[in-house]
Structure 1
Amino acid sequence: MDALPSLEQLNAADASTFLDHLGEVFEHAPWVAAAVVGQRPFASADALHRAMLAAVAARPEDARVALFNGHPELAGTAARLGQMTADSVREQGGLALGALSAEDGARWDALNTAYRARFGFPFILCIKRHTRISALAAFEARLAGDLRTELANTLAEIGRITRLRLAGRIAGHGLDGLHGSLAVQVLDSQRGRPAECLRVALHDADGALLAQGVQQGDGRTAPLLAGAPLRMGRYELRLHLGEHQRRQGGADGWLDVVPIAFAIDAPEADYRLTLTVAPWAYSVACAREG
Protein backbone atom coordinates (compact mmCIF):
# COMPACT_ATOMS: atom_id res chain seq x y z
CA MET A 1 0.00 0.00 0.00
CA ASP A 2 1.62 3.25 -1.15
CA ALA A 3 -0.95 5.64 0.34
CA LEU A 4 -1.73 5.47 4.03
CA PRO A 5 -4.39 2.75 4.35
CA SER A 6 -7.58 2.99 6.34
CA LEU A 7 -8.46 0.47 9.03
CA GLU A 8 -11.07 -0.97 6.67
CA GLN A 9 -8.37 -1.60 4.07
CA LEU A 10 -6.10 -3.24 6.64
CA ASN A 11 -8.96 -5.43 7.81
CA ALA A 12 -9.55 -6.57 4.23
CA ALA A 13 -5.89 -6.91 3.22
CA ASP A 14 -4.12 -10.24 2.93
CA ALA A 15 -2.02 -11.24 5.92
CA SER A 16 1.26 -10.39 4.22
CA THR A 17 0.17 -6.82 3.46
CA PHE A 18 -1.13 -6.36 7.01
CA LEU A 19 2.19 -7.55 8.46
CA ASP A 20 4.27 -5.47 6.05
CA HIS A 21 2.41 -2.34 7.10
CA LEU A 22 2.20 -2.89 10.86
CA GLY A 23 5.13 -5.20 11.57
CA GLU A 24 7.36 -2.38 12.81
CA VAL A 25 4.85 -0.73 15.17
CA PHE A 26 6.50 -2.68 17.99
CA GLU A 27 10.27 -2.24 17.80
CA HIS A 28 11.94 -5.26 16.16
CA ALA A 29 8.89 -7.36 17.07
CA PRO A 30 6.84 -8.22 13.95
CA TRP A 31 5.44 -11.18 15.89
CA VAL A 32 3.08 -8.77 17.67
CA ALA A 33 1.28 -7.89 14.43
CA ALA A 34 1.38 -11.56 13.44
CA ALA A 35 -0.31 -12.48 16.72
CA VAL A 36 -3.38 -10.36 15.93
CA VAL A 37 -3.74 -10.71 12.15
CA GLY A 38 -6.16 -13.59 12.64
CA GLN A 39 -8.37 -11.52 14.96
CA ARG A 40 -9.57 -9.22 12.17
CA PRO A 41 -11.76 -7.39 11.50
CA PHE A 42 -11.09 -4.79 14.18
CA ALA A 43 -13.89 -2.37 14.95
CA SER A 44 -11.47 0.49 15.62
CA ALA A 45 -7.78 1.33 15.66
CA ASP A 46 -8.08 1.43 19.43
CA ALA A 47 -9.33 -2.19 19.43
CA LEU A 48 -6.39 -3.16 17.21
CA HIS A 49 -3.91 -1.48 19.54
CA ARG A 50 -5.46 -3.09 22.62
CA ALA A 51 -5.22 -6.50 20.95
CA MET A 52 -1.54 -5.94 20.17
CA LEU A 53 -0.79 -4.91 23.75
CA ALA A 54 -2.73 -7.91 25.06
CA ALA A 55 -0.61 -10.19 22.88
CA VAL A 56 2.53 -8.77 24.49
CA ALA A 57 1.11 -8.88 28.02
CA ALA A 58 0.12 -12.54 27.56
CA ARG A 59 3.70 -13.59 26.88
CA PRO A 60 5.82 -14.90 29.75
CA GLU A 61 8.19 -12.49 31.42
CA ASP A 62 11.27 -13.64 29.52
CA ALA A 63 9.52 -13.03 26.19
CA ARG A 64 8.44 -9.54 27.28
CA VAL A 65 11.98 -8.77 28.42
CA ALA A 66 13.25 -9.94 25.03
CA LEU A 67 10.86 -7.47 23.38
CA PHE A 68 12.08 -4.70 25.70
CA ASN A 69 15.66 -5.52 24.72
CA GLY A 70 14.77 -4.86 21.10
CA HIS A 71 14.48 -1.17 21.95
CA PRO A 72 17.51 1.11 21.68
CA GLU A 73 18.77 2.96 24.72
CA LEU A 74 17.87 6.63 24.88
CA ALA A 75 20.92 8.62 23.74
CA GLY A 76 22.82 5.33 23.57
CA THR A 77 25.39 3.91 21.19
CA ALA A 78 22.83 2.98 18.53
CA ALA A 79 21.56 6.57 18.51
CA ARG A 80 25.04 8.01 18.11
CA LEU A 81 25.93 5.56 15.32
CA GLY A 82 22.62 5.95 13.49
CA GLN A 83 21.75 2.28 13.96
CA MET A 84 18.09 2.68 14.94
CA THR A 85 14.80 2.10 13.14
CA ALA A 86 13.26 5.04 11.31
CA ASP A 87 10.64 5.36 14.07
CA SER A 88 13.26 5.56 16.83
CA VAL A 89 15.35 8.03 14.84
CA ARG A 90 12.35 10.35 14.56
CA GLU A 91 11.39 9.94 18.21
CA GLN A 92 14.84 10.50 19.70
CA GLY A 93 15.67 13.11 17.07
CA GLY A 94 12.99 15.39 18.49
CA LEU A 95 15.32 16.02 21.44
CA ALA A 96 18.55 15.61 19.45
CA LEU A 97 19.56 12.74 21.74
CA GLY A 98 22.05 11.52 19.17
CA ALA A 99 23.98 14.80 19.29
CA LEU A 100 24.60 15.46 22.98
CA SER A 101 27.65 17.16 24.41
CA ALA A 102 30.32 14.89 25.86
CA GLU A 103 29.20 15.76 29.40
CA ASP A 104 25.51 15.16 28.72
CA GLY A 105 26.29 11.98 26.80
CA ALA A 106 28.31 10.64 29.74
CA ARG A 107 25.36 11.28 32.08
CA TRP A 108 22.96 9.35 29.84
CA ASP A 109 25.51 6.55 29.42
CA ALA A 110 25.88 6.20 33.18
CA LEU A 111 22.12 6.02 33.67
CA ASN A 112 21.68 3.54 30.81
CA THR A 113 24.41 1.30 32.23
CA ALA A 114 23.00 1.43 35.76
CA TYR A 115 19.43 0.76 34.63
CA ARG A 116 20.34 -2.20 32.42
CA ALA A 117 22.51 -3.70 35.18
CA ARG A 118 19.63 -3.39 37.67
CA PHE A 119 16.75 -4.64 35.51
CA GLY A 120 18.22 -6.53 32.56
CA PHE A 121 16.65 -4.39 29.82
CA PRO A 122 16.96 -0.79 28.60
CA PHE A 123 15.12 2.18 30.04
CA ILE A 124 12.14 2.82 27.76
CA LEU A 125 10.21 6.07 27.72
CA CYS A 126 7.77 7.64 25.28
CA ILE A 127 10.24 10.42 24.60
CA LYS A 128 7.77 12.43 22.52
CA ARG A 129 6.07 13.39 25.81
CA HIS A 130 9.23 14.72 27.46
CA THR A 131 11.82 17.44 27.46
CA ARG A 132 15.37 16.37 28.20
CA ILE A 133 15.00 17.60 31.77
CA SER A 134 11.79 15.66 32.43
CA ALA A 135 13.19 12.56 30.72
CA LEU A 136 16.24 12.58 32.97
CA ALA A 137 14.04 13.11 36.03
CA ALA A 138 11.89 10.12 35.04
CA PHE A 139 15.02 8.07 34.38
CA GLU A 140 16.47 8.75 37.82
CA ALA A 141 13.14 8.13 39.56
CA ARG A 142 12.54 4.81 37.82
CA LEU A 143 16.10 3.63 38.42
CA ALA A 144 15.20 3.51 42.12
CA GLY A 145 12.19 1.25 41.51
CA ASP A 146 11.76 -2.51 41.76
CA LEU A 147 11.60 -5.04 38.93
CA ARG A 148 7.85 -5.70 39.09
CA THR A 149 7.10 -1.98 38.89
CA GLU A 150 9.54 -1.45 36.03
CA LEU A 151 8.11 -4.33 34.02
CA ALA A 152 4.72 -2.62 34.27
CA ASN A 153 6.11 0.88 33.63
CA THR A 154 8.01 -0.31 30.58
CA LEU A 155 4.97 -1.97 29.04
CA ALA A 156 2.91 1.17 29.70
CA GLU A 157 5.51 3.32 27.94
CA ILE A 158 5.63 0.92 25.00
CA GLY A 159 1.85 1.28 24.87
CA ARG A 160 2.21 5.05 24.50
CA ILE A 161 4.97 4.73 21.89
CA THR A 162 3.10 2.20 19.78
CA ARG A 163 -0.22 4.06 19.97
CA LEU A 164 1.47 7.06 18.34
CA ARG A 165 3.19 4.83 15.79
CA LEU A 166 -0.06 3.09 14.91
CA ALA A 167 -1.79 6.44 14.43
CA GLY A 168 0.90 7.39 11.95
CA ARG A 169 0.19 4.28 9.87
CA ILE A 170 -3.61 4.38 9.57
CA ALA A 171 -5.57 7.03 7.69
CA GLY A 172 -8.46 8.42 9.73
CA HIS A 173 -7.34 6.33 12.69
CA GLY A 174 -9.80 7.85 15.18
CA LEU A 175 -7.45 7.34 18.13
CA ASP A 176 -8.06 9.97 20.78
CA GLY A 177 -5.89 11.24 23.60
CA LEU A 178 -2.76 11.40 21.45
CA HIS A 179 -1.99 15.10 21.29
CA GLY A 180 -2.15 18.24 23.40
CA SER A 181 -2.23 21.91 22.52
CA LEU A 182 -1.17 25.28 23.88
CA ALA A 183 -3.14 28.37 22.91
CA VAL A 184 -2.80 31.98 24.04
CA GLN A 185 -5.30 34.83 24.19
CA VAL A 186 -4.35 38.38 25.18
CA LEU A 187 -6.83 41.09 26.15
CA ASP A 188 -5.93 44.80 26.18
CA SER A 189 -7.60 46.26 29.28
CA GLN A 190 -6.58 49.83 28.45
CA ARG A 191 -8.45 49.77 25.15
CA GLY A 192 -11.17 47.34 26.21
CA ARG A 193 -10.60 44.90 23.37
CA PRO A 194 -8.43 41.96 22.33
CA ALA A 195 -4.75 42.81 21.91
CA GLU A 196 -4.66 42.50 18.14
CA CYS A 197 -1.19 42.19 16.54
CA LEU A 198 0.62 41.63 19.83
CA ARG A 199 3.52 39.25 19.28
CA VAL A 200 4.05 36.31 21.64
CA ALA A 201 6.97 33.88 21.64
CA LEU A 202 7.32 30.51 23.37
CA HIS A 203 10.73 29.42 24.67
CA ASP A 204 11.93 26.28 26.39
CA ALA A 205 13.71 26.18 29.75
CA ASP A 206 17.04 26.84 28.03
CA GLY A 207 15.70 29.90 26.23
CA ALA A 208 15.47 28.33 22.77
CA LEU A 209 12.61 29.66 20.64
CA LEU A 210 9.97 26.98 20.03
CA ALA A 211 7.16 28.93 18.39
CA GLN A 212 5.80 32.42 17.98
CA GLY A 213 2.64 34.04 16.74
CA VAL A 214 0.74 37.30 16.45
CA GLN A 215 -2.62 37.84 18.11
CA GLN A 216 -5.48 38.05 15.65
CA GLY A 217 -8.63 40.16 15.86
CA ASP A 218 -10.05 38.05 18.69
CA GLY A 219 -6.79 38.30 20.65
CA ARG A 220 -5.83 34.70 19.93
CA THR A 221 -2.99 33.12 18.03
CA ALA A 222 -3.15 29.83 16.26
CA PRO A 223 -2.10 27.20 18.83
CA LEU A 224 1.60 27.60 19.56
CA LEU A 225 1.87 23.86 20.13
CA ALA A 226 -0.44 21.25 18.58
CA GLY A 227 -0.50 18.02 16.61
CA ALA A 228 1.75 16.08 19.00
CA PRO A 229 2.02 15.31 22.71
CA LEU A 230 3.18 18.33 24.68
CA ARG A 231 6.60 17.79 26.19
CA MET A 232 6.51 17.86 29.98
CA GLY A 233 8.67 20.58 31.42
CA ARG A 234 9.06 24.28 32.07
CA TYR A 235 8.46 26.97 29.48
CA GLU A 236 8.51 30.73 29.15
CA LEU A 237 6.01 32.75 27.15
CA ARG A 238 7.27 36.21 26.21
CA LEU A 239 4.79 38.99 25.46
CA HIS A 240 6.23 41.83 23.39
CA LEU A 241 4.06 44.39 25.14
CA GLY A 242 6.20 47.49 24.55
CA GLU A 243 6.30 46.78 20.83
CA HIS A 244 2.51 46.44 20.84
CA GLN A 245 2.07 49.75 22.67
CA ARG A 246 4.25 51.60 20.19
CA ARG A 247 2.41 50.07 17.24
CA GLN A 248 -0.90 51.24 18.73
CA GLY A 249 0.44 54.80 19.02
CA GLY A 250 0.54 54.78 22.81
CA ALA A 251 3.32 55.89 25.11
CA ASP A 252 5.76 53.30 26.39
CA GLY A 253 4.78 51.87 29.73
CA TRP A 254 6.98 50.27 32.33
CA LEU A 255 6.69 46.90 30.65
CA ASP A 256 8.47 45.92 27.47
CA VAL A 257 8.97 42.16 27.04
CA VAL A 258 6.96 40.35 29.71
CA PRO A 259 8.15 36.81 30.59
CA ILE A 260 5.52 34.33 31.81
CA ALA A 261 7.03 31.14 33.29
CA PHE A 262 4.81 28.07 33.45
CA ALA A 263 4.98 24.28 33.39
CA ILE A 264 3.29 21.54 31.36
CA ASP A 265 2.68 18.23 33.12
CA ALA A 266 -0.10 16.67 31.02
CA PRO A 267 1.14 15.95 27.48
CA GLU A 268 -2.27 15.14 26.03
CA ALA A 269 -4.12 18.09 27.59
CA ASP A 270 -5.27 21.33 25.98
CA TYR A 271 -3.78 24.37 27.74
CA ARG A 272 -5.03 27.91 27.32
CA LEU A 273 -3.25 30.95 28.73
CA THR A 274 -5.41 34.06 28.96
CA LEU A 275 -3.57 37.30 29.69
CA THR A 276 -4.97 40.72 30.44
CA VAL A 277 -2.43 43.47 29.76
CA ALA A 278 -2.01 47.21 30.20
CA PRO A 279 1.07 49.42 29.73
CA TRP A 280 1.96 49.03 33.42
CA ALA A 281 0.42 45.73 34.52
CA TYR A 282 -0.70 42.28 33.46
CA SER A 283 -2.53 39.25 34.86
CA VAL A 284 -2.48 35.61 33.82
CA ALA A 285 -5.05 32.83 33.99
CA CYS A 286 -4.36 29.26 32.90
CA ALA A 287 -7.01 26.69 32.01
CA ARG A 288 -6.43 23.03 31.20
CA GLU A 289 -8.74 20.47 29.66
CA GLY A 290 -7.83 16.81 29.65
Structure 2
Amino acid sequence: MQPLTLDALNTMPTAEFAAALGNIFEHSPWIAELAAERRPFARLADLMAAMTTAVEQASSERRMALIKAHPDLADKTQRAAGLTAESNAEQTSVGLDRLSDAEYAAFERVNSAYRGKFGFPYIVCVRRHTKDSILRDFERRLPNDTATEVATSIREICRIAALRLDQLVSAGERLAVNGRLSTHVLDTHGGTPAAGIAIELFELCGLGDNRLIARAVTNADGRTDQPLIHGRPLPMGHYELVFHTGAYFADRKAQRSDPPFLDIIPIRFAIAEAEGHLHVPLLVTPWSYATYRGS
Protein backbone atom coordinates (compact mmCIF):
# COMPACT_ATOMS: atom_id res chain seq x y z
CA MET A 1 0.00 0.00 0.00
CA GLN A 2 1.41 3.38 -1.05
CA PRO A 3 1.83 5.92 1.76
CA LEU A 4 -0.61 8.81 1.74
CA THR A 5 1.23 12.02 0.86
CA LEU A 6 0.44 15.65 1.53
CA ASP A 7 0.75 16.39 -2.21
CA ALA A 8 -1.87 13.74 -2.99
CA LEU A 9 -4.22 15.10 -0.33
CA ASN A 10 -3.92 18.60 -1.78
CA THR A 11 -5.27 17.44 -5.15
CA MET A 12 -7.96 14.95 -4.09
CA PRO A 13 -11.68 15.65 -4.56
CA THR A 14 -13.20 16.74 -1.25
CA ALA A 15 -15.11 13.47 -0.77
CA GLU A 16 -11.94 11.43 -1.30
CA PHE A 17 -9.96 13.73 1.01
CA ALA A 18 -12.60 13.35 3.74
CA ALA A 19 -12.65 9.57 3.31
CA ALA A 20 -8.86 9.35 3.58
CA LEU A 21 -8.77 11.43 6.78
CA GLY A 22 -12.24 10.66 8.12
CA ASN A 23 -11.09 8.84 11.24
CA ILE A 24 -8.23 11.10 12.22
CA PHE A 25 -10.96 12.44 14.51
CA GLU A 26 -12.99 9.45 15.74
CA HIS A 27 -16.06 8.80 13.54
CA SER A 28 -16.07 12.49 12.50
CA PRO A 29 -15.31 12.98 8.77
CA TRP A 30 -16.96 16.42 8.88
CA ILE A 31 -13.72 17.80 10.33
CA ALA A 32 -11.72 16.68 7.31
CA GLU A 33 -14.43 18.04 4.99
CA LEU A 34 -14.13 21.50 6.55
CA ALA A 35 -10.32 21.36 6.53
CA ALA A 36 -10.37 20.51 2.80
CA GLU A 37 -11.68 24.02 2.09
CA ARG A 38 -8.35 25.48 3.28
CA ARG A 39 -6.16 23.60 0.80
CA PRO A 40 -3.42 23.55 -0.39
CA PHE A 41 -1.30 22.78 2.67
CA ALA A 42 2.43 23.41 2.52
CA ARG A 43 3.18 21.45 5.70
CA LEU A 44 1.59 18.68 7.72
CA ALA A 45 1.34 21.16 10.61
CA ASP A 46 -0.84 23.40 8.41
CA LEU A 47 -3.24 20.53 7.77
CA MET A 48 -3.40 19.72 11.48
CA ALA A 49 -4.03 23.39 12.27
CA ALA A 50 -6.90 23.50 9.77
CA MET A 51 -8.51 20.44 11.33
CA THR A 52 -8.05 21.84 14.84
CA THR A 53 -9.64 25.13 13.74
CA ALA A 54 -12.64 23.22 12.37
CA VAL A 55 -13.14 21.64 15.80
CA GLU A 56 -12.66 24.92 17.69
CA GLN A 57 -15.16 26.77 15.47
CA ALA A 58 -17.79 24.02 15.58
CA SER A 59 -20.97 24.39 17.60
CA SER A 60 -21.00 23.15 21.18
CA GLU A 61 -23.43 20.40 20.08
CA ARG A 62 -21.04 19.19 17.41
CA ARG A 63 -18.07 19.22 19.78
CA MET A 64 -20.08 17.20 22.32
CA ALA A 65 -20.98 14.68 19.60
CA LEU A 66 -17.26 14.39 18.83
CA ILE A 67 -16.50 13.69 22.49
CA LYS A 68 -19.26 11.07 22.72
CA ALA A 69 -17.97 9.34 19.56
CA HIS A 70 -15.01 8.05 21.61
CA PRO A 71 -15.05 4.72 23.47
CA ASP A 72 -14.51 4.18 27.17
CA LEU A 73 -11.01 2.99 28.04
CA ALA A 74 -10.46 -0.71 28.78
CA ASP A 75 -14.16 -1.52 28.15
CA LYS A 76 -14.45 -5.23 27.27
CA THR A 77 -17.97 -4.84 25.85
CA GLN A 78 -16.94 -2.08 23.46
CA ARG A 79 -13.81 -4.00 22.46
CA ALA A 80 -15.87 -7.08 21.65
CA ALA A 81 -18.38 -4.98 19.70
CA GLY A 82 -15.55 -3.55 17.63
CA LEU A 83 -13.44 -0.49 18.31
CA THR A 84 -12.10 1.47 15.36
CA ALA A 85 -8.73 0.17 14.22
CA GLU A 86 -7.12 3.37 15.49
CA SER A 87 -8.66 3.17 18.97
CA ASN A 88 -7.87 -0.52 19.24
CA ALA A 89 -4.20 0.06 18.34
CA GLU A 90 -3.96 2.96 20.78
CA GLN A 91 -5.48 1.06 23.71
CA THR A 92 -3.37 -2.02 22.92
CA SER A 93 -0.17 0.05 22.82
CA VAL A 94 -0.55 0.94 26.49
CA GLY A 95 -1.66 -2.55 27.54
CA LEU A 96 -5.36 -1.82 28.13
CA ASP A 97 -6.22 -5.11 26.39
CA ARG A 98 -4.38 -7.16 29.03
CA LEU A 99 -5.15 -5.69 32.43
CA SER A 100 -4.81 -7.50 35.73
CA ASP A 101 -8.06 -8.04 37.66
CA ALA A 102 -7.12 -5.17 39.99
CA GLU A 103 -6.37 -2.85 37.06
CA TYR A 104 -9.60 -3.76 35.30
CA ALA A 105 -11.59 -3.08 38.47
CA ALA A 106 -9.85 0.30 38.86
CA PHE A 107 -10.66 1.30 35.27
CA GLU A 108 -14.29 0.19 35.66
CA ARG A 109 -14.60 2.26 38.83
CA VAL A 110 -13.17 5.47 37.39
CA ASN A 111 -14.98 5.07 34.04
CA SER A 112 -18.30 4.77 35.89
CA ALA A 113 -17.54 7.68 38.21
CA TYR A 114 -16.51 9.93 35.32
CA ARG A 115 -19.51 9.06 33.12
CA GLY A 116 -21.82 9.39 36.09
CA LYS A 117 -20.62 12.91 36.79
CA PHE A 118 -20.14 14.32 33.28
CA GLY A 119 -22.35 12.19 31.02
CA PHE A 120 -19.62 11.53 28.44
CA PRO A 121 -16.56 9.26 28.26
CA TYR A 122 -13.21 10.14 29.81
CA ILE A 123 -10.82 10.90 26.96
CA VAL A 124 -7.04 10.99 27.14
CA CYS A 125 -4.33 10.51 24.54
CA VAL A 126 -3.28 7.09 25.79
CA ARG A 127 -0.09 6.97 23.70
CA ARG A 128 1.29 9.68 26.01
CA HIS A 129 0.61 7.65 29.17
CA THR A 130 1.18 4.41 31.04
CA LYS A 131 -1.72 2.57 32.67
CA ASP A 132 -0.82 4.00 36.06
CA SER A 133 -0.59 7.58 34.79
CA ILE A 134 -4.00 7.22 33.08
CA LEU A 135 -5.52 6.19 36.41
CA ARG A 136 -3.82 9.14 38.13
CA ASP A 137 -5.13 11.47 35.42
CA PHE A 138 -8.66 10.10 35.94
CA GLU A 139 -8.48 10.93 39.64
CA ARG A 140 -6.98 14.36 39.00
CA ARG A 141 -9.73 15.32 36.55
CA LEU A 142 -12.76 13.95 38.41
CA PRO A 143 -13.13 17.06 40.67
CA ASN A 144 -13.28 19.40 37.63
CA ASP A 145 -16.47 21.09 36.45
CA THR A 146 -18.10 20.13 33.15
CA ALA A 147 -16.82 23.13 31.18
CA THR A 148 -13.23 22.33 32.18
CA GLU A 149 -13.63 18.68 31.21
CA VAL A 150 -15.17 19.53 27.84
CA ALA A 151 -12.19 21.77 27.07
CA THR A 152 -9.73 19.14 28.34
CA SER A 153 -11.43 16.41 26.29
CA ILE A 154 -11.18 18.48 23.10
CA ARG A 155 -7.50 19.16 23.79
CA GLU A 156 -6.85 15.42 24.27
CA ILE A 157 -8.83 14.57 21.11
CA CYS A 158 -6.61 16.96 19.13
CA ARG A 159 -3.51 15.25 20.57
CA ILE A 160 -4.89 11.87 19.49
CA ALA A 161 -5.63 13.27 16.02
CA ALA A 162 -2.14 14.74 15.64
CA LEU A 163 -0.57 11.34 16.37
CA ARG A 164 -2.91 9.61 13.92
CA LEU A 165 -2.18 12.18 11.23
CA ASP A 166 1.58 11.95 11.75
CA GLN A 167 1.40 8.16 11.33
CA LEU A 168 -0.90 8.23 8.31
CA VAL A 169 0.47 10.99 6.07
CA SER A 170 3.95 11.08 4.59
CA ALA A 171 5.42 14.59 4.58
CA GLY A 172 8.88 16.09 4.75
CA GLU A 173 8.35 17.86 8.06
CA ARG A 174 6.81 15.72 10.79
CA LEU A 175 4.58 16.90 13.61
CA ALA A 176 6.25 17.47 16.99
CA VAL A 177 4.41 14.59 18.65
CA ASN A 178 7.14 12.07 19.49
CA GLY A 179 9.80 11.72 22.16
CA ARG A 180 12.94 9.69 22.75
CA LEU A 181 14.48 7.75 25.64
CA SER A 182 18.15 6.83 25.32
CA THR A 183 21.03 5.57 27.46
CA HIS A 184 24.73 4.85 27.38
CA VAL A 185 27.15 3.09 29.71
CA LEU A 186 30.61 4.44 30.53
CA ASP A 187 33.18 2.19 32.26
CA THR A 188 34.84 4.79 34.50
CA HIS A 189 37.17 2.11 35.91
CA GLY A 190 38.66 1.41 32.50
CA GLY A 191 37.99 4.88 31.08
CA THR A 192 36.11 3.55 28.07
CA PRO A 193 32.60 3.07 26.72
CA ALA A 194 31.16 -0.19 28.04
CA ALA A 195 30.28 -2.50 25.14
CA GLY A 196 28.22 -5.68 25.43
CA ILE A 197 26.16 -4.80 28.50
CA ALA A 198 22.63 -6.20 28.41
CA ILE A 199 19.92 -3.67 29.28
CA GLU A 200 16.20 -4.08 30.01
CA LEU A 201 13.59 -1.36 30.34
CA PHE A 202 10.46 -2.01 32.43
CA GLU A 203 7.32 0.04 32.95
CA LEU A 204 6.47 -0.10 36.66
CA CYS A 205 2.83 -0.96 37.34
CA GLY A 206 1.18 -0.37 40.71
CA LEU A 207 -1.72 -2.82 40.29
CA GLY A 208 -0.29 -5.39 37.88
CA ASP A 209 2.95 -6.97 36.73
CA ASN A 210 5.75 -4.70 35.59
CA ARG A 211 5.84 -4.56 31.80
CA LEU A 212 8.97 -5.24 29.72
CA ILE A 213 9.27 -2.40 27.19
CA ALA A 214 12.65 -2.99 25.55
CA ARG A 215 15.80 -5.13 25.57
CA ALA A 216 19.12 -4.02 24.12
CA VAL A 217 22.88 -4.56 24.28
CA THR A 218 25.37 -1.70 24.29
CA ASN A 219 27.53 -1.28 21.18
CA ALA A 220 31.19 -0.22 20.86
CA ASP A 221 30.21 3.33 21.82
CA GLY A 222 28.50 2.14 24.99
CA ARG A 223 25.13 3.10 23.48
CA THR A 224 22.23 1.11 22.12
CA ASP A 225 21.83 0.94 18.33
CA GLN A 226 18.38 2.50 18.65
CA PRO A 227 16.89 4.60 21.45
CA LEU A 228 14.97 2.48 23.97
CA ILE A 229 11.79 4.38 23.06
CA HIS A 230 11.54 6.37 19.84
CA GLY A 231 9.13 7.17 17.01
CA ARG A 232 6.30 7.71 19.49
CA PRO A 233 5.57 9.81 22.59
CA LEU A 234 7.29 8.82 25.81
CA PRO A 235 4.49 7.31 27.92
CA MET A 236 4.44 9.30 31.15
CA GLY A 237 4.94 7.11 34.20
CA HIS A 238 7.53 5.26 36.29
CA TYR A 239 10.24 3.03 34.84
CA GLU A 240 13.19 0.87 35.75
CA LEU A 241 16.35 0.44 33.66
CA VAL A 242 18.27 -2.74 34.50
CA PHE A 243 21.98 -2.93 33.58
CA HIS A 244 23.74 -6.32 33.69
CA THR A 245 27.25 -5.12 34.50
CA GLY A 246 28.65 -8.13 36.39
CA ALA A 247 29.39 -10.19 33.28
CA TYR A 248 31.02 -7.18 31.61
CA PHE A 249 33.60 -6.71 34.39
CA ALA A 250 34.12 -10.48 34.71
CA ASP A 251 35.02 -10.68 31.01
CA ARG A 252 37.56 -7.90 31.53
CA LYS A 253 39.08 -9.58 34.61
CA ALA A 254 38.56 -6.38 36.60
CA GLN A 255 39.36 -6.67 40.31
CA ARG A 256 36.14 -7.77 41.94
CA SER A 257 34.80 -9.84 44.82
CA ASP A 258 33.10 -13.23 44.59
CA PRO A 259 30.17 -12.77 44.44
CA PRO A 260 30.62 -9.38 42.76
CA PHE A 261 29.72 -6.29 44.77
CA LEU A 262 27.70 -4.99 41.80
CA ASP A 263 26.15 -7.46 39.38
CA ILE A 264 22.76 -6.15 38.22
CA ILE A 265 22.10 -2.44 38.63
CA PRO A 266 18.51 -1.11 38.58
CA ILE A 267 17.80 2.60 38.10
CA ARG A 268 14.26 3.84 38.73
CA PHE A 269 13.07 7.12 37.23
CA ALA A 270 9.93 8.86 35.98
CA ILE A 271 8.97 10.33 32.62
CA ALA A 272 6.91 13.52 32.74
CA GLU A 273 7.44 14.98 29.24
CA ALA A 274 5.87 12.85 26.52
CA GLU A 275 7.43 14.78 23.62
CA GLY A 276 10.86 15.32 25.17
CA HIS A 277 14.25 13.62 24.91
CA LEU A 278 15.28 11.90 28.13
CA HIS A 279 18.76 10.40 28.44
CA VAL A 280 19.50 8.11 31.41
CA PRO A 281 23.18 7.05 31.38
CA LEU A 282 25.17 4.79 33.70
CA LEU A 283 28.72 5.56 34.85
CA VAL A 284 30.03 2.41 36.48
CA THR A 285 33.02 0.66 38.09
CA PRO A 286 33.04 -2.78 39.76
CA TRP A 287 32.27 -1.01 43.08
CA SER A 288 30.25 2.12 42.28
CA TYR A 289 27.85 3.72 39.84
CA ALA A 290 26.21 7.06 39.11
CA THR A 291 23.55 8.42 36.81
CA TYR A 292 21.96 11.75 35.90
CA ARG A 293 19.15 13.22 33.85
CA GLY A 294 20.47 14.03 30.40
CA SER A 295 18.78 15.19 27.22
1:219 paired with 2:226, answer no
Give the CA deviation at 1:5: 2.0
* Distance (whole Å) between structure 2 residues aligned to residue 218 and residue 31 of structure 1: 51
1:208 paired with 2:211, answer yes
* Distance (whole Å) between structure 1 residues aligned to residue 149 and residue 172 of structure 2: 30
- Specify the code of the residue in structure 2 equivalent to 1:264: I
Structure 1 pair 108/184, CA: closer, same or farther in 2 (3 Å)? same
The counterpart of 1:244, out of the listed 241, 248, 267, is: 248
3-state DSSP of counterpart to 1:47? helix
Maintained 8 Å contact 2:197/2:248: yes
1:264 paired with 2:271, answer yes
The counterpart of 2:237, out of the listed 215, 233, 243, is: 233
* Distance (whole Å) between structure 1 residues aligned to residue 238 and residue 106 of structure 2: 21
Give the CA deviation at 1:173: 5.4
1:284 paired with 2:291, answer yes
* Distance (whole Å) between structure 1 residues aligned to residue 99 and residue 282 of structure 2: 36
- Sequence identity (%): 38
Moved more, 7-16 or 67-76: 7-16
* Distance (whole Å) between structure 2 residues aligned to residue 82 and residue 224 of structure 1: 34
For 1:118, the equivalent position in structure 2 comes to: 117
Moved more, 93-102 or 215-224: 93-102
For 1:18, the equivalent position in structure 2 comes to: 17
* Distance (whole Å) between structure 2 residues aligned to residue 99 and residue 185 of structure 1: 32
Maintained 8 Å contact 1:33/1:52: yes
Structure 1 pair 100/215, CA: closer, same or farther in 2 (3 Å)? closer
- Specify the code of the residue in structure 1 equivalent to 2:65: A
1:27-38 mapped onto 2 (5 Å cutoff):
27-38=26-37
- Specify the code of the residue in structure 2 equivalent to 1:208: R
TM-score by length of 1: 0.94
Moved more, 2-11 or 23-32: 2-11
3-state DSSP of counterpart to 2:144? coil
TM-score by length of 2: 0.93
Maintained 8 Å contact 1:186/1:275: yes
Which runs of at least 4 in structure 1 moved beyond 4 Å after TM superposition?
Answer: none
Structure 1 pair 166/260, CA: closer, same or farther in 2 (3 Å)? same
3-state DSSP of counterpart to 1:210? strand
Give the CA deviation at 1:55: 0.9
Maintained 8 Å contact 2:284/2:290: yes
* Distance (whole Å) between structure 1 residues aligned to residue 80 and residue 175 of structure 2: 35
After superposition, the C-alpha distances for 1:40-84 in whole angstroms (9 at most, x for unaligned) are: 111211111111111111122222111100000111244441521
Give the CA deviation at 1:154: 0.7
Give the CA deviation at 1:246: 1.2
RMSD value over aligned CA atoms? 1.5
Give the CA deviation at 1:113: 1.7
- Specify the code of the residue in structure 1 equivalent to 2:221: D
3-state DSSP of counterpart to 1:285? coil
For 2:132, the equivalent position in structure 1 comes to: 133
After superposition, the C-alpha distances for 1:87-120 in whole angstroms (9 at most, x for unaligned) are: 0000001123233344432321221122122112
* Distance (whole Å) between structure 2 residues aligned to residue 95 and residue 283 of structure 1: 30
For 1:273, the equivalent position in structure 2 comes to: 280
Structure 1 pair 96/189, CA: closer, same or farther in 2 (3 Å)? closer
Maintained 8 Å contact 1:80/1:99: no
* Distance (whole Å) between structure 2 residues aligned to residue 110 and residue 208 of structure 1: 23
Maintained 8 Å contact 2:238/2:269: yes
